[in-house]
């Protein structure tokens, strides 16, 4: 998985609960990304960060939040405002305009 770790592998969320997905990279890449993947669909960008302490919304940012306090870390919080959070979440990292490397993913399920 190219030096990108995601945890946990499976995460269960109760209704009204916020949950945080972890993503860490040791590739020294400036940019990090969060994608959502649903069955039968491609990757949809949630948020990305080009540099520490800065991040931009992707195509489906509503109901999600992120932080980038360290270059190596880009956690994603799925808030209670996200009404359909069940999906496979992928974190990626890259240098600008270069190959994106992906983590192993986190499967989020709603109880």
Residue ranges in contact with another protein by CB under 8 A: 1-2, 4, 6, 31, 33, 37, 39-43, 45, 48, 50, 88, 90, 94, 96-105, 107
Which one, 6 or 82, has the nearer CB to another protein?
Answer: 6
Q: Give the residue carrying structure tokens 């209704």.
A: 15
Residue by residue, what is the 3-state secondary structure of the chain?
A: CCCEEEECCEEEECCCCCEEEEEEECCCCCEEEEEEECCCCCEEEEEEEEECCEEEECCCCCCEEECCCECCECCEEECCCCCCCCEEEEEEEECCCCCCEECCCEEEEEC
Query: Nearer Cβ to another protein, position 47 or 64?
Result: 47
Q: How far is the CB of 87 from another protein (least distance, A)?
A: 11
Identity of the residue, 32 or 78, whose beta carbon is nearer to another protein in the bound complex: 32
Beta carbon of residue 59, minimum distance to another protein (angstroms, whole number)? 11
CB of 101 to another protein, least distance (A): 7
């Amino acid at each position: 998985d190219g030096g990108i770790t995601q945890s946990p592998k499976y995460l269960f969320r109760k209704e009204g609960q916020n949950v945080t997905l972890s993503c860490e990279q040791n590739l020294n890449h400036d940019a990090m990304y969060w994608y959502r993947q649903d069955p039968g669909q491609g990757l949809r960008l949630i948020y990305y960060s080009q540099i520490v302490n800065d991040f931009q919304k992707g195509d489906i940012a509503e109901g999600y939040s992120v932080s980038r306090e360290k270059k190596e870390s880009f956690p994603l919080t799925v808030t209670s405002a996200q009404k359909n959070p069940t999906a496979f979440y992928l974190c990626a990292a890259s240098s600008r305009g270069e190959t994106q490397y992906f983590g192993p993913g986190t499967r989020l399920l709603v109880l």
